[in-house]
Structure 1
Amino acid sequence: MAAQENLITAAEFSQIQFDFLIIGGGTAGLAVAARLSEYSQFNVGVLEAGPLVNRLDTVDIPGLYGQTIGTEHDWGFKTVPQPGLHGRVLPWPRGKLVGGTSALNFMIWNRGSKEDYNAWEQLGNPGWGWDDLLPFFKKSETIHRPTLRHQTDYGATFDPEVSGTTGPINVSYPNYYPTTHQLWRQALNSLGIESNEAHLSGSNTGVWTCVNSITPEEQTRSYATNSYYLPNVHRKNLFLLTGAFVDEITLEATDDGSHKATGVTFTCNGQQHHVSAKYEVILSAGTVQSPQILESSGIGNPQILASAGKATKVDNPNVGENLQEHIMAAIVFETKTEVQNDQKSGNKGPDAALEEYLRHRAGPLTAVPSCFCYLPFVKALPEGKFQDLSRLVSGLPSSNLQSHSVTSERFDPKQRLGQIEYILDFGNWNQAFSPSQDDAKNYATVFQVLQYPFSQGSIHINSSTGNVSANEPTIDPKYYSGTHGKIDLEAMIHSIHFADEIARSKPLSNLLGPRVFPPKSITTDDEYRDWVGKTTITDWHPVGTCSMGGSRGIEGGVVDHRLRVYGVQGLRVIDASIMPLHISAHIQATVYAIAEKGAHMILQDHNVLA
C-alpha cells in the first residue's frame, strides 16, 4: 500500500466532532487509535507532526537499522551539556514520522522481569503488575514459533503460555546469524552464565537469543504503522492528520475548581487550527514531548511555566521530572584477520547482500543484533566492588521512600535481576574511536547497558520559546551527576572488566582479538571513570516524565493508575512517560503493552468493556 499524505486536510479535520483525540501517531498512539476505532460508535482522530512514510528501505529492511537516525525522520533532539560527561551534548533520536520511534528502533523485542512491573504496583498502582500486564503483552504480538533448526542450532525458544499469537506486531527469530552467535552463548556458558530458555516469561537474566519485531515472510520491520494503522486505514471512524504540530491542549475550568480537556490547538502548514474532543484527549507524544505539551497547556511546575510565559492551570511540579534512561558504553575489540564483518554486509560485500535480500529475503540484511545477556551485578562485578556499590546505595538519601525501597532491594545479592546488559555486534559502534583511514582491521563491539539507573533528570519546555513546536526541549538526564549518579558511574567502570572476560573466553576468543577501546593503556579506576565519562551514550530508552503517582497521588507523579492526568478531566497520557521506574529491557514491547492496557481502560471507563 502506497503512503498517502494527509488523507484529510487540517480544515476538514478540525470540523469533525471527535470522541477521542490522540496526540502523537507513534508507537503507543497508533495502537490506542486502532483499538478505540474498533468500535464504530466512536470517532477517533490522530494528530502527528511527521509524515506518513511507507516502503522506505531504511525503515523496512532490518539490516539497515540505524540509518534513519539523524535524517528528516528524526526529531534531532539533544541534551543540554552534561557535566558528568565532560560537558558533552548527546543526541536523543526520536521518530518524526507516523509510527514514531517504532520506525527507527533496532527491532529488539523483550520484556522486563516480573519484579520490574510488580514494583510499579508496589508503588501503589494497582493493575500494573506482571500478571496484569501479561495479557496486554500477548494482545500486541504474534510471536512466530521458531523452526526446529533454530531451536537446536541457535537457542531459539518458544513458550505458548506467554506468547501472543494473534496480535498486530509480528515477532520472529532472525533467519541469519553472524559468525559470533553460537560462540557468544558458549563463551558465557563457560563463565557460569546459564542459557535462559524462557526469556519472555518474566526473567531475562542469563544468555539468550533475542526475538525481533520482524515479519518473517517478508523479512521486513513490523511496527506501529504497518501493523496498527495501515490495516485499519479503511475505517470510516479513524482519521489521521500529518504535519500537525500541537500547540496546547484546551482546558476549560469546571465548577469544582478543576479543569476538563475539551480539544487541541495545533498548527499545520503554518496555520493554526482548533479541534474538539467529546470524551477524551489522549497524549501519546512520548517521554520527550508529552511533558512539554502538558506544560504548554498550563500543567506543571508554576516556576517553569512562568519562565515560559505560561499561566498555571494545574500546579504539578512532577511534570517533566523523574526522567530515567538506560546508559550505554561501547567497548571495541579487534577481530582476528580471518573474521569478516558479516553482520552488515556478509562476505560477499554490501551490494551482494542487498541483492540477496531483494531477491530471496535472505542474508545478513535480514538480521539485527541477537546476542544478548542480562546479569545481576553480583555476577558481573568483583565481589568487593559489588559490596562497595551496595554500601553507596544503602546510604542514599531519598525524598520518595517507596521508590528508594524498591531500588535498594534490587541490590540484594539474592535478587537475580538483569542489572547490566551485554550485546555483541560486528563493527566499530563507538563514534569516539576513529581508526586511521589505512587501518585494514575489522572490529566488534560489546555494548554494556545499565538497566536501573540511579541518575534522574528532567525534560521541560524551553523557557526561551515557550513553544513546543519550536523543537527545542530542555533535556537534562543528569548522567553521572550527584550522589545518585556516582553509583551509575561506578557500576559502569567495573562492568567493563566482565566484557573483557567474555571476549577472552573460548570459543569467542578464537574470533575476538585484543580490546582497542578503551585502550589497554587504561588501568586505574580514575582512568576508566574518565573514559566512561567521555564516551557514554544513550540507549534511546527514556521513560518516566509523566509517571504514575501511585499511593502518593499528585505528590508522586503526573497520572493515576488509570493514566488520567491529576487535576484534569478527560485527559490521559499513554506512552513510555508513565513508567514510574525503569525496567530491565528494551522498552518497545512494554510500550505496546501500555498502549493496549490504556485503550482497554478507556473502553472500560466508557462502558464498552466490562
Structure 2
Amino acid sequence: MGSSSEAEAFLRHNFTHVVIGGVTAGLVVAARLSENPALTVGIIEAGPVAIDEPAINIPGRLSETLFTKYDWQFEITPQPGLNGRKLPWNRGKVLGGSSALNLLLWTRGSREDYDAWEQLGNEGWGWDGILPFFKKSECFHAPNKEFQSQHQAYCDPDAHGIDGPLHIIYPQEYVASHQYWHATLNKLGVETNRSHASGENVGCWTSLTGIDPNSQRRCYSATAYYMPAAKRDNLVLLSEATVREILLEKDDDDWIAKGVRFEHKGSEYTIRVSGEIVLSAGSVQSPQLLELSGIGNPEILIAAGIDVKIENPNVGENLQEHMLTMMVYEIDPSITTPEALRNDSALAKAADEEYIATKTGPRTAVGNSAAYLPFSHYMSASDISALVSKLAAAYPNTRHPREQILVQRFASGDGEAGKMEFLLDVSNYSPFFESQPNKRYGTMMQMLQYPFSVGSIHIPPAPSRGHHTTSADQPVIDPKYYAGPGGHIDFLSMVAGQRFGHRICSTPPLADIIVGRVFPPAPSSENGDSDEDLSDWVRNTTITDWHPVGTCAMGGSGGKANGVVDSRLRVYGVKGLRVVDASIMPLQISAHLQATVYAIGEKGASMIMEDWEDSKA
C-alpha cells in the first residue's frame, strides 16, 4: 500500500480541533471554529468534493444523486412491520453530506417540538434558545408583497436571519400544481399559514428552499460554510478519508479523546488533537464510530471484538424516523416534470439551455406545496378516541420521559401539532410504480411526524473469531417501523392519512389537472373511497423519509441513564469529544430536518468556542 501526499500534508498540522464528517453540521462547526485564528481545525470527510457537480447544484435535478457515488447507499434490516421488506437508506457521501442530496425544503418545527427537548432537561434547547441559531445560519431574501400574494409565499421577516451564510428564498418559479394548492386546501378547511417558520407550522403553506437567488444553484453547507472559509490557513480538509476509530486514552480515572485513526488511499494514519474532537457523522455513523471506539453497550461491543472503554447502552438506540407513503396520480400531459426531462432528451436540452441563459425554467422549480395537519382535521372524534384508548393500553406505565411526552402529545385532545405532513410534487417518485411512456405523473406524499416506533443502529458482530468489526462493515439499521407498543398506532395513523391525501387530489381546482389515481389503483366509482381499505398498501409501500434522529441523544435530566451526550453535546464518560448532528435530537420534530441541523451546528460551535475560551481564561 502506498502513501498519500494529501494525508501526509494533513498530518503536518497541529490541530486543536478535528471534525469527523464534512457534512451538514460538521462544516458549520469547522467554519465557525476557524474564525478564531488561535485554533487549527481539521475536517476528515469520507466522500469527495463535488462543488461543481450539476446534479447537486441544479435545483430541478434533485434526487439524481441518489444511488450514485455521492450516496452511502445503506440498507435497513428486514422489517416485520413492512411484511419483511428491506429498504435503502440514502445518506450523503460527499462534502456537504445530505445537504448536497436533500430535496431543498427549508422548514422548521413548532415551538412545542424544541420546548419538548428542554422539558427533558436539556437547558437552552427550547424554541427561545435555538431560534437565534436558526437565524444565525440564514441569509433570508424576503419577497415583495406582489410575489407573496401571487404564490402564497407569505412569511414573517422578523423570524429569519439576513446575515447568515445560507441563502434562503421562495423560488421564482413553481411546479404547475402549486398554483392550485392553497385554494384546494382552503376548500377542505385548511387555512393558509402566513408565518409557518415562527413556531407554529400547522396549515398549508409554500415552503422555503435553500437556493442562491443569484446563481439559482443549491446553497448547502459545502458552498455556504466551507468554501468561503477554505482559504484560511487554519482550516484544513482531507476528503475521501474514512475514519476507523476515535482514539481514547486513560488519564487516571478519566478517558480522554486524543486522536483519530483513519484510512486514506489504502494506508492508515493517526492524527493527534490537542483540544477536542467533534463527531458529526450523522444519525447512522456517529453511533457507529462511538461503538467502534469502545463507547456503547458492552454486549454489542464484545460481539464485535471491540474493547469496552465506556459503557453506555443508549448509543445507537432511540432511532426515530418519519415514515413516508406516496400515492401516484396521472396528471395533465402538458405539464413538464423532472421525470419527463430525464426521459425526453429534446425537452431536457431546452430546459438546460434556458437555465444556462436566464437561470429560469423547469430546472429551477422544486416542489413547495406543503401542509402540516393535526389528526383532528381529517379523523373523526370517535376514531381519535379509539386511537387514544389503544395508546393507553400500549403504554399503561410509561417510564421514559420521551415516551411520556409522546403519549401526552397524542392523548391531550390532539392540540394543534402538525402530526402528518402532506406534500405534493409533480413527477413519479414512488419506487413501486413504473411510469408509462408518454404519461406525466404527480406524487402525493404523506409523512408521519411523531412516530412511536423506535429503532436502533449498531455495528454488526465480528465476521469471525479473532477478528473485529470495522467501519467498512455496514451498520445494522433497524428502524422497527410499525413495531413496539406504539407501532400499531403509527400504522393506523398512516392509513388514515392516505384517505385525506386522496381527498386533496380529488378536490378542485387541483383535481382539474389530475386524470386519476394510478397507484394504488383508484377505488371503483360504485363504492367510492369513504371505506377504502388501504391497510395492505400502506404496509407494503411505506419507506423512509430520510430524516433519522436520536441515536446519540441528549440525556437531559436523566444524564447518562437516558442519553449519550449532555446538553452541551459532550459525550458522557469521555473528555474532549462531542457529537454535533441530528443524532443528538432526543425527540423527532414536525419538519424536514436540514434547517434544524444547521441550527444544531451553529449552537454546537458556539458552545465549543465558549468552553474553549473559558478553559484559557
Q: Structure 2: where are the runs of 5+ without partners?
A: none
Q: Measure, in 2, the Cα distance between the counterparts of 1:524 and 1:179.
A: 28
Paired position in structure 2 for 1:93: 90
Secondary structure of the corresponding residue to residue 583 of structure 1? coil
Instruction: Please state if 1:276 is matched with 2:301.
Output: no
Partner of 1:403: 402
Match of 2:9 in 1: 12
Kindly state the Cα deviation for residue 234 of structure 1 after the two structures are TM-superposed.
0.7
C-alpha distance 99-8 of structure 1, shift in aligned 2 (>3 A): farther
Q: Residue 305 in 1 paired to residue 301 in 2?
A: yes
Tell me which residue corresponds to 2:474: 472
Aligned to 2:613: 607
2: CA distance, partners of 1:565 / 1:85: 34
How far the C-alpha of 1:358 sits from its partner, in A, is: 1.1
In 1: Cα distance, 2:91 partner to 2:4 partner: 24
1:127 is aligned, of 99, 124, 127, to 124
Give the C-alpha shift of residue 8 in structure 1: 6.8
Provide the rounded CA distance (Å) in 2 between the counterparts of 1:494 and 1:47. 45
The answer to whether the Cα contact below 8 Å between 1:305 and 1:312 also exists between their aligned partners in 2 is yes
Letter of the 2:335 partner, please give it. Q
Question: What is the CA–CA distance in structure 2 between the aligned matches of 1:142 and 1:578, rounded to whole Å?
Answer: 25
Deviations 1:460-516 (A, max 9, x none): 112235444315110000111133211111100111111121112121111123322
1:189 and 2:186 aligned: yes
Alpha-carbon offset, residue 342 of structure 1? 4.2
> Using the alignment, how far apart are the partners of 1:458 and 1:580 within structure 2?
13
Tell me which residue corresponds to 1:546. Answer: 552
Deviation at 1:413, TM superposition (A): 2.4
Q: How does 1:4-403 map to 2 (within 5 A)?
A: 9-255=6-252, 257-336=253-332, 339-342=334-337, 349-397=347-395, 400-403=399-402
Does the 8 Å CA contact 2:375/2:414 hold for their aligned counterparts? Answer: no
**Per-residue deviation, residues 353-405 of structure 1 (Å, max 9, x unmatched):** 11111111001111111100000111122333222222222333366432122
Residue 161 of structure 1 aligns to a residue whose secondary structure is helix
In the TM superposition, residue 333 of structure 1 has moved relative to its aligned partner by: 1.7
1:468–1:220 Cα change, 3 Å: farther
> Displacement, 1:180?
1.4
Asked whether the 8 Å contact 1:16–1:275 carries over to 2, the reply is: no
- Cα distance change, pair 195–526 in 1 and its aligned pair in 2 (3 A): closer
351-360 or 426-435: which moved more?
426-435
TM-score normalised over the length of structure 2: 0.94
SS in 1 for 2:11: helix
What is the alpha-carbon distance in structure 2 between the residues aligned to residue 151 and residue 354 of structure 1?
27
8 Å contact 2:201–2:418 — kept in the other structure?
Answer: yes
The CA deviation string for residues 146-203 of structure 1, in whole angstroms up to 9 with x for no partner, is 1333211011123222111010111111111122112111010011100000011001
> 1-side partners of 2:399 and 2:274: how far apart?
37
Moved over 6 A (4+): 522-526
Q: Tell me if structure 2 keeps the 8 A contact 1:187–1:508.
A: yes
Q: Which residue of 2 aligns with 1:423?
A: 423
* Residues 1:285 and 1:43: Cα distance change in structure 2 (over 3 Å): same
Out of 398-407 and 133-142, give the one that drifted further. Answer: 398-407
Q: Report SS of the residue matched to 1:482.
A: coil
Offset from partner CA, 1:339-359 (integer Å, 9 cap, x none): 423466689822211111111
Counterpart contact for 2:370–2:424, Cα < 8 Å: yes
Aligned to 1:455: 453
Select the residue among 591, 602, 607 that pairs with 1:585: 591
Match of 1:3 in 2: none
Q: What is the DSSP-based 3-state SS (H/G/I as helix, E as strand, rest coil) of the residue aligned with 1:220?
A: coil
Q: Judge conservation of contact 2:73–2:91 (CA < 8 Å) in 1.
A: yes
Instruction: Give a deviation string over 1:104-141, Cα, whole Å, max 9, x none.
Output: 00111010000000000000100000000000000011
Q: Could you say if the C-alpha distance between residues 204 and 72 of structure 1 is closer, same or farther in structure 2, counting changes exceeding 3 Å? A: same
Following the alignment from structure 2 to structure 1, what is the Cα–Cα distance between the partners of residues 434 and 325? 16
381-390 vs 284-293, greater mean Cα deviation: 381-390
Q: Distance in 2 between matches of 1:124 and 1:427?
A: 43
Moved more, 57-66 or 512-521: 512-521
Alignment RMSD (CA, Å): 2.0
Q: Which amino acid aligns with 2:540?
A: K
1:430 partner letter: S
Shift of 1:543: 0.4
Q: Which residue number in structure 1 is paired with residue 519 of structure 2? A: 517
Q: Is the 8 A contact 2:61 2:338 kept in 1?
A: no
- State the distance in 2 between where 1:262 and 1:583 align: 34
Query: 1:178, 1:343 within 8 Å by CA — same for their partners in 2?
Result: no
Q: Is the 8 A contact 1:333 1:514 kept in 2?
A: yes
Inter-CA distance 443–244: structure 2 relative to 1 (3 Å threshold): same
- 2:574 counterpart of 1:568: yes
Distance 1:223 1:442 in 2: 30
Report the Cα offset of residue 335 of structure 1: 1.9
Return the letter of the residue paired with 2:535.
Answer: R
- Superposed displacement of residue 9, structure 1: 1.5
Task: Write the distance in 1 (CA, Å) between the matches of 2:446 and 2:4.
Answer: 44
In the alignment, the residues of structure 2 paired with residue 567 and residue 380 of structure 1 have an alpha-carbon distance, to the nearest angstrom, of 47
Q: 1:408 is aligned with what amino acid?
A: V
Whole-angstrom distance in 1 between the partners of 2:544 and 2:107: 18
Report if aligned partners of 1:63, 1:344 keep a CA contact under 8 Å in 2.
no
Aligned to 1:485: 487
Tell me which residue corresponds to 2:542. Answer: 536
Amino acid at match of 1:563: L
Contact 1:7-1:241 within 8 A present in 2 as well: no
Displacement of 1:528: 1.8
Which amino acid is 1:542 matched to?
P
Taking a change above 3 Å as real, the CA distance of residues 494 and 252 of structure 1, as seen in their structure-2 partners, is: same
Q: Distance in 2 between matches of 1:505 and 1:395?
A: 37
Shift of 1:434: 2.2
Q: Given residue 520 of structure 2, which amino acid in structure 1 is its aligned partner?
A: P
Q: Is the 8 A contact 1:329 1:449 kept in 2?
A: yes
The answer to whether structure 1 residue 507 and structure 2 residue 509 are counterparts is yes
SS at structure 1 position matched to 2:390: helix
What's the offset of the Cα at 1:7? Answer: 11
TM-score by length of 1: 0.95
Count of matched residue pairs: 601
| Aligned counterparts of 1:80 and 1:158: Cα–Cα separation in 2 | 41
